[in-house]
Amino acid sequence: MNQLSRPQPVPFIDLAAQRQRLGKAVDEAVARVLGHCQFINGPEVSQLEAALAAFSGARHVVTCASGTDALLMVLMAKGVGPGDAVLCPSFTFCATGEAVALTGATPVFVDVDEDTFNMDAASLKSGIATARKRGLRPVGVIPVDLFGQSADHDAVAAVAEAEGLFVLDDAAQGFGASYKGRRLGTFGLATATSFFPAKPLGCFGDGGAIFTDDAALAETLRSIRVHGQGADKYDNVRLGLTGRLDTMQAAILIEKLKIFEDEIEARNKVADRYARGLGNVVTVPRLASGCNSVWAQYTIRLPKGTDRDGFAAALKAQGIPTAIYYTKSMHQQTAYRNFPVADGGLPVSERLSDDVISLPMHAYLDEATQDRIVAAVRGAVST
Ligand SMILES: Cc1ncc(COP(=O)(O)O)c(C=O)c1O
């Protein structure tokens, strides 16, 4: 194939299209920060926190340096440490379990639901029993709103309440989605999210936020994000981090939040169209009743026996990128394979790691490009 006949490459996520839509708004927001020079804790940080609280319905929002710090800071605030167990799904990005392990506590991995890819409440119960059998004290659970779809928060809350565990929702991929009509950010003790650029609401660097209705927790988190500072700036009262979101990223996020609702709607249209075009050749994602998604990823499952690498190569040859989230579940990765898994094992997580693949997904995917992707997928599974 010569240079001229090579198909136009499709972006997996089109940040340039979004940048174009935002026009001068982001440039002006950045210029304002460059003007006032309050690069740390500038006025945009509290403005963003107020806007995120209004958007989500959470009483308190504490922005921070990343989604990983958001998880870690809540665990630190709860005093989680050695001897404690925190239950996490295994089929997730590594930061979910990593934050637990960083505190010295033990992540105990549980399985996910085959259709939604989110935490399976029955496996959660069995993971709690596994933790106790190992002499660990189960203290918390981290459901993940994977690929943008809210977890089954009622089912998780029922188990957590019965067992006396706090719930820390990992909405790094799901912020903006809702569950039974309520936006994420308002479930459990606290919610963590990430503003990594590829996330549905991303900044132009690293960033994150924590949402909670608990005023005392919010105050502790504000201390932890500045090295555990107390009322007297030079008397640090607990361990903390350099955990702040910088003012420039806050200014960018304020502008991006203004178009976020509209982008969520556009992502849902793209997802609906994929489902119509692909539903009879691959397993398309299923939304559980009461759950919706911001489609951080559009993840399909290939028919049994499909060569996934061959499928990806066929799409690549047509200029269409794919990604595999996740080729290994957490309990299969080198750093995590010695942590406990729920009794009964994690067969669903392992199956998903073998057959999922994600297609380009963003709010600016036009119909013609999407038709190209649909045709390529259909062609690749039928060969
Ligand atoms: C489920 C999940 N949790 C946590 C994180 C961590 O976020 P960050 O990369 O901002 O630290 C991510 C980021 O990819 C994620 O997908």
Distances (CA, A) of 148 to 102, 140, 173, 225: 25, 22, 5, 26
Contact 300 CB / ligand 1 (< 6 Å): no
Residue environment code for 284-316, b if the CB has 16+ CB neighbours within 10 A, otherwise e: bbebbeebbbbbbbbbbbbeeebeeeebbebbe
Helix (H, G, I), strand (E, B) or coil at 170: strand
- CA of residue 375 to ligand 1 center, whole Å: 32
- Burial (CB < 10 A; 0-12, 13-18, 19+), residue 236, is middle
- CA of residue 94 to ligand 1 center, whole Å: 8
Contact 147 CB / ligand 1 (< 6 Å): no
Contact 55 CB / ligand 1 (< 6 Å): no
Question: In terms of DSSP bridges, do strands 137-141 and 166-170 run parallel, antiparallel, or are they unpaired?
Answer: parallel
Contact 68 CB / ligand 1 (< 6 Å): yes
Q: Ligand 1: which atom is nearest the Cα of residue 173?
A: 16
Helix (H, G, I), strand (E, B) or coil at 275: helix
CA 255, 259, 260: angle at the middle one, nearest 5? Answer: 105
Q: Which pLDDT belongs to residue 233?
A: 80
Distance CA 192, CA 70 (A): 5
- CA of residue 52 to ligand 1 center, whole Å: 18
The amino acid sitting at 128 is I
Q: Which pLDDT belongs to residue 1?
A: 45
| pLDDT of the chain, 383 residues: tens digit per residue | 455 567 889 999 999 999 999 999 999 999 999 999 999 999 999 999 999 999 999 999 999 999 999 999 999 999 999 999 999 999 999 999 999 999 999 999 999 999 999 999 999 999 999 999 999 999 999 999 999 999 999 999 999 999 999 999 999 999 999 999 999 999 999 999 999 999 999 999 999 999 999 999 999 999 999 999 999 888 999 999 999 999 999 999 999 999 999 999 999 999 999 999 999 999 999 999 999 999 999 999 999 999 999 999 999 999 999 999 999 999 999 999 999 999 999 999 999 999 999 999 999 999 999 999 999 999 999 86
Q: Which pLDDT belongs to residue 379?
A: 96
Q: Which pLDDT belongs to residue 382?
A: 80
Is the backbone peptide bond immediately before 326 cis, with ω within 30 degrees of 0? yes
- Cβ distance 314 to 383 under 8 Å? yes
> Bridge partners of 86?
107, 140
Q: Ligand 1: which atom is nearest the Cα of residue 207?
A: 10
Question: In terms of DSSP bridges, do strands 178-179 and 166-170 run parallel, antiparallel, or are they unpaired?
Answer: unpaired
Question: In terms of DSSP bridges, do strands 356-359 and 298-301 run parallel, antiparallel, or are they unpaired?
Answer: antiparallel
Helix (H, G, I), strand (E, B) or coil at 104: coil
What angle, 0 to 180 degrees and rounded to 10, lies between the N-to-C axes of helices 15-22 and 24-36?
Answer: 80
Helix (H, G, I), strand (E, B) or coil at 35: helix
Distance CA 105, CA 190 (A): 18
Contact 322 CB / ligand 1 (< 6 Å): no
Q: Which pLDDT belongs to residue 3?
A: 52
CA 58, 62, 63: angle at the middle one, nearest 5? Answer: 120
- CA of residue 383 to ligand 1 center, whole Å: 36
